[in-house]
Amino acid sequence: MADKYSVLVVDDESMTFDLVEDSLIESYTVNYAPSGEEGLKAIQADKPDVVLLDVEMPGIGGLDVCRQIKADESLSDIMIIFVSAADELEDRLKGYEAGGDDYIVKPFYGEELQTKLKIAIDKIEQAKALKEDASAAFQTAMTAMTSTGELGRVLQFLRQSFTCQSYDEVATQVIEAMNEYGLKSILQIRGRFGTVYLGDKGAVTSLEETLLTRMEQQERIFDFGCRTAFNYPKISLL
């Protein structure tokens, strides 16, 4: 790696920064902001690759900071990893709704943090590769804009699904169908040959994987906020 990826720690507890810096300083450029307000200023000025964002802080909390970042088109690609002592499904859902990409629970260890960062960087590199593939992006846009009517799309999906030879092919057909309806979606398929994840943006985030796995135990149709999850024995769609 010619240049180090940059990580900004936004946390009112400086000891969190100390732990992160000790764990990552050899591989990453690590900076610190002690509050949500200072974090927003640093993010706008420096545009770090990854933000480790404490959920509970005085003033502007982590969820609000994340919403502001994701609402700004020039900053929305920044990977957000929430840091919190809370580990309930509801807490993770709030992080996901705010636009977070992953979630790490306090107290955490250096090895776990390094793994989370590696996943985040992999996602960044995948996103860059997708943006560079103009042909694939154009084809995706054309697919999303092409409509044969609701019933026609259902029949088309059924015909194409009969020819699928793998979970990946089935997942692709489902996501393409959702795209044509103008729906953003993520999908988990579970079967004897493994588990497959896919979303409307391609690879799903670690937080999305966790949510889909935990939602498997929820009701058949599960609403939260402006989102709805559909659960079946071998598939979950959000």
pLDDT at 50: 94
In whole angstroms, what is the distance from residue 222 CA to residue 229 CA?
5
C-alpha distances out from residue 21 to 6, 39, 119, 123, 140, Å: 11, 16, 18, 22, 40
Over residues 199-217, mean pLDDT: 84
User: What CATH class does 5-131 carry?
Assistant: alpha beta
214 pLDDT band (50/70/90 cuts)?
confident
What are the sequence ranges of the domains in the chain?
5-131, 133-237
- Residue 225: is its pLDDT beyond 80? no
- Looking at per-residue pLDDT, the higher value among 89 and 215 belongs to 89
> What pLDDT is attached to residue 147?
46
* pTM of the predicted model as reported, rounded to 2 decimal places: 0.63
pLDDT digits (tens, 9 = 90+) for 88-139: 898 899 999 999 999 999 888 888 889 999 999 998 888 888 777 756 665 6
**What percent of the chain is modeled with pLDDT above 70?**
91
Average pLDDT in the chain = 85
Has residue 54 got a pLDDT over 70?
yes
Rounded to an integer, the average pLDDT of 4-14 is 91
Q: Which of 116-120, 188-192, 221-225 has the lowest mean pLDDT?
A: 221-225
What is the reported pLDDT for 213?
Answer: 82
Q: How confident is the model at residue 69 (pLDDT cuts 50, 70, 90)?
A: very high
